[in-house]
């Protein structure tokens, strides 16, 4: 029997359908669905079927010496007993094993994990590997006809990441959580990629807080004569209001067109999608990085798009791009496909070219009715980006006008789209035309209105998810496969809220303590170096054991700094986390209102002046409480959110307003109940 292993159950079912050419026979083995066809059995895993962990002796956080944890032995233990049992049973019967998991570090490691399970019951089994970028009939049949060798170096790179992240995460998280007294489900998560990323967000917020707005003024003239338009004084910003007022006072009722400059501006079409640019673009149309990757994974497994984890921005010559475009002739993208096929298909090229997977592209046509709304949005984004990479440049006509008003120069710029080019295909965030009226040099214009507008310089903006992923990519933080997961973890740990990302007080407390007493953890250089070492493992240049040892030695040095400053870190964290619990000022006694716990474990907002003051407000029983910076205008209390895993954040708002509304609701329900009882 020929056993074929895929990464997920849905992939197993689809590949079995393709290889059989008909509906394969489904059979349950140890509670796991498998598919039989012509002497072959296709079985899907559930991602990793084993995990790396410390021996049980290290489970107790308070009793474990963290210096020992850095160099502790790492064990591999099964995580899906039924899948492992089924794998052993089928592996024992098999003469040939083919690994058909996703082709990347994680996929190669998952495949090797499965192979190791099988080898324990069938040591001499013949094993090979198939690699594909789309789960389409053509590519699946082709790749199964010419299998290759398993890449054990690539798998070792994936395993080294697991081990390194386990050690760093466990040691740093335990240290910070124990130092702050935040244990249980409220522990403070720290990691080698997570913490430098959070530091970027926190430091951006510090820049915003430190920003001092500077006032300035702008002078505008509304001009008419055959058409109305607005021109701005050529100086732009006036730091001195009196200067702007003096110019405004001398302006007459007419102006003269001094010069007209006509020009053209071309926009080159975008390069093919790699993972980073795909996630940035998805974020720009309102789909979070984590959600975009989840949807892309679904579209890939179902054969609609290519593998969504890639650094490549150059289509390989082996990719039949003409056939892909032609496949859309019978879809709602017919006009776009037909126009492209009528010309030369010369795609753009990005700077990154790799040999593992092509850039993200559509694999097969889909109907809008086949997909849910967000799935269609992502699919359409991929299709339109693919088409745009073959399109012509976008052409704009530009017009720059200078008008003299009483010896002062005012300018206006216009732009008109004359050839849509690639923007016809990729119709996202298209700039609007700025049309100026037909003008001639020397023409007299009437000054309809003069406006002096006061403004202030603005603080640097917060990072959106797409922008943050690009920064992480530039700094070597994480990989194309993990960056969206890191951001999701920051949300789930209540370190950030909203998009753009705003750090919570907890985030400030953790990062400020680490930056002051263990600065290395918050800098990208250390983790970027480890990422490069893991790449070297996959290329066979260095052994996994060496890189893991280097990472342990790095952590040793980091831990020395932390241990040396243990009391200072503890004090800094506790002070910061106390501030994180403050909701506002008590209206009865002016003490701090803070989040507290009763003896029975329920949560409430209580006065720090207790027992002299007994003012309280209720809080929901479950969920993580996030105190935001926004305040209630009526009560002066900070607005709060409740985060429950797997659910959207619950905006409670002002806890006092919420309590008043709750009381009103109870009163209304009581009145209804009393009215019914009276009948």
For domain 160-210+462-574, the CATH architecture is: Orthogonal Bundle (1.10)
**Closest alpha carbon to 437 in 223, 258, 266:** 223
- Residues in the chain, total: 679
pLDDT in tens, 121-144: 999 999 999 999 999 999 999 999
Q: Are 98 and 127 spatial neighbours (Cβ–Cβ below 8 Å)?
A: yes
pLDDT of residue 597: 83
CATH of 2-45+80-150, one of 3.40.50.300, 1.20.1250.20, 3.40.50.140, 3.40.1390.10: 3.40.50.140
Place of tokens 């026979």: 25
What does the alpha-carbon distance between residue 491 and residue 494 come to, in Å, rounded to a whole number? 5
Common-topology check for domains 2-45+80-150 and 160-210+462-574: no
Q: Judge whether 379 counts as a catalytic residue.
A: no
Report the top-level CATH class of 215-269+394-456.
mainly beta
CATH topology of domain 278-388: Topoisomerase I; domain 4 (1.10.290)
Angstrom CA distances, 447 to 117, 200, 227, 245, 442, stand at 83, 48, 12, 17, 15
pLDDT > 70: percent of the chain: 99
**How many angstroms separate the CA atoms of 675 and 661, rounded?**
21
Measured between alpha carbons, how far is 520 from 410 in angstroms, rounded to an integer? 52
Q: Report the predicted TM-score, pTM, of the whole model to 2 decimal places.
A: 0.86
Predicted confidence at residue 386, as pLDDT, reads 98
Question: What residue ranges do the domains of the chain occupy?
Answer: 2-45+80-150, 160-210+462-574, 215-269+394-456, 278-388, 584-667
Output the average pLDDT for the chain: 92
How would you class 225 by CB atoms within 10 Å of its CB: exposed for 0-12, middle for 13-18, buried for 19 or more?
Answer: middle
Instruction: Quote the tokens at residue 110.
Output: 């998952």
How far is residue 640's CA from residue 628's CA, in Å, rounded to a whole number?
6
How far apart (Å, rounded) are the C-alpha atoms in residues 595 and 86?
A: 49
| Element housing 416 (H / E) | strand 408-419
Q: Which two tokens stand for residue 544?
A: 């996994």
Give the torsion sign (CA, 54, 55, 59, 62). Answer: negative
Greatest mean pLDDT range, 331-340, 499-508, 622-631: 331-340
User: Residue 181 — pLDDT band, cuts 50, 70, 90?
Assistant: confident
- Axis-axis angle for helices 524-538, 152-180 (nearest 10): 160
Given a contact cutoff of 8 angstroms between Cβ atoms, the answer to whether 150 and 120 are in contact is no
Question: What pLDDT is stored for residue 679 in this prediction?
Answer: 65
Tell me: pLDDT of 678 over 90.
no
Is residue 258 pLDDT above 80, yes or no? Answer: yes
DSSP H or E run through 448: strand 444-456
Catalytic residue among 35, 58, 307, 517: 307
Cβ–Cβ < 8 Å for 644, 650: yes
Give dist(CA 26, CA 41) in Å, integer.
Answer: 10
Condensed to tens digits (0 to 9), the pLDDT of residues 549-586 reads 999 999 999 999 899 999 998 988 888 777 777 888 98
For residue 527, the model assigns a pLDDT of 87
At residue 286, the pLDDT reads 92
Per the CB < 8 A criterion, the answer to whether 359 and 274 are in contact is: yes
Distance of CA 396 to the CA centre of its chain: 33
CA atoms of 422 and 607, how far apart (whole Å): 61
pLDDT digits (tens, 9 = 90+) for 652-676: 899 999 899 988 988 888 888 887 7
Q: What is the pLDDT of residue 578?
A: 76
Residue whose pair of structure tokens reads 């086949």 in the numeric block: 370
* Tens digits of residue pLDDT in 594-647: 988 887 778 899 998 888 998 999 988 888 788 887 889 989 898 988 887 767
């Amino acid at each position: 029997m020929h056993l074929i292993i895929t990464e997920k159950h849905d992939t197993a079912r689809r590949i079995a359908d393709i290889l059989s050419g008909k509906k394969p026979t489904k059979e349950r083995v140890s509670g796991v669905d498998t598919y039989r066809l012509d002497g072959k059995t296709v079985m899907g895993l559930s991602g990793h079927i084993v995990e790396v962990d410390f021996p049980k002796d290290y489970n107790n956080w308070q009793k474990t010496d963290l210096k020992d944890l850095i160099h502790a032995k790492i064990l591999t233990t099964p995580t899906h007993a039924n899948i492992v049992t089924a794998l052993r049973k089928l592996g024992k019967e098999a003469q040939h094993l083919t690994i058909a998991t996703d082709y990347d570090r994680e996929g190669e490691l998952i495949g090797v994990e499965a192979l190791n399970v099988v080898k324990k019951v069938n040591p001499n089994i013949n094993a090979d590997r198939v690699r594909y970028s789309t789960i389409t009939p053509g590519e699946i049949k082709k790749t199964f006809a010419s299998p290759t060798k398993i890449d054990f170096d690539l798998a070792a790179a994936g395993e080294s990441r697991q081990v390194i992240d386990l050690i760093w995460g466990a040691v740093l998280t335990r240290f910070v959580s124990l130092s702050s007294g935040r244990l249980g489900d409220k522990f403070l998560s720290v990691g080698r990629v997570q913490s430098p990323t959070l530091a970027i967000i926190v430091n951006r917020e510090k820049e915003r807080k430190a920003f001092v707005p500077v006032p300035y003024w702008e002078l505008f003239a509304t001009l008419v004569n055959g058409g109305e338009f607005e021109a701005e004084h050529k100086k732009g910003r006036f730091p001195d209001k009196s200067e702007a007022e003096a110019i405004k006072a001398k302006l007459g009722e007419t102006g003269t067109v001094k010069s007209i400059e006509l020009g053209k501006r071309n926009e080159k079409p975008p390069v093919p999608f790699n993972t980073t640019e795909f996630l940035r673009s998805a974020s720009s149309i309102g789909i979070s990085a984590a959600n975009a990757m989840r949807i892309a994974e679904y579209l890939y497994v179902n054969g609609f798009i290519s593998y969504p984890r890639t650094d490549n921005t150059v289509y390989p010559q082996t990719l039949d791009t003409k056939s892909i475009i032609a496949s859309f002739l019978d879809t709602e993208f017919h006009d776009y496909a037909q126009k492209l096929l009528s010309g030369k298909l010369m795609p753009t090229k990005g700077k990154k070219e790799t040999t593992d997977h092509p850039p993200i592209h559509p694999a097969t046509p889909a109907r809008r009715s086949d997909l849910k709304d967000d799935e269609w949005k992502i699919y359409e984004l991929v299709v339109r980006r693919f088409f745009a990479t073959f399109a012509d440049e976008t052409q704009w006509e530009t017009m720059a006008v200078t008008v003299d008003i009483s010896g002062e120069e005012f300018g206006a710029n216009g732009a008109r789209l004359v050839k849509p080019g690639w923007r016809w295909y990729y119709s996202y965030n298209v700039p609007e035309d700025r049309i100026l009226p037909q003008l001639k040099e020397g023409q007299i214009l009437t000054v309809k209105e003069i406006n002096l507008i006061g403004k202030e310089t603005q603080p640097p903006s917060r990072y959106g998810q797409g922008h943050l992923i690009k920064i992480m990519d530039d700094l070597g933080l994480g990989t194309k496969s993990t960056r969206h997961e890191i951001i999701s973890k920051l949300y789930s740990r209540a370190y950030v809220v909203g998009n753009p990302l705003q750090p919570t007080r907890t985030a400030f407390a953790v990062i400020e303590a680490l930056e002051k007493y263990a600065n290395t953890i918050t800098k990208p250089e250390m983790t970027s170096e480890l990422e490069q070492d893991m790449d070297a493992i996959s290329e066979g240049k260095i052994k996994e054991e060496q890189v893991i040892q280097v990472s342990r030695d790095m952590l040793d040095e980091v831990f020395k700094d932390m241990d040396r400053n243990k009391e200072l870190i503890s004090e800094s964290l506790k002070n910061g986390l106390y501030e994180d619990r403050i909701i506002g000022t008590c209206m009865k006694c002016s003490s701090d209102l803070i989040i507290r716990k009763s003896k029975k474990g329920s949560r409430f907002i209580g006065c720090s002046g207790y027992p002299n003051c007994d003012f309280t407000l209720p809080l929901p029983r479950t969920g993580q409480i996030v105190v935001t910076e926004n305040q209630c205008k009526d009560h002066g209390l900070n607005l709060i959110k409740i985060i429950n895993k797997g659910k959207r954040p619950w905006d409670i708002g002002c806890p006092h307003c919420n309590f008043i509304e709750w009381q009103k609701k109870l009163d209304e329900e009581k009145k209804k109940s009393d009215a019914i009882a009276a009948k």
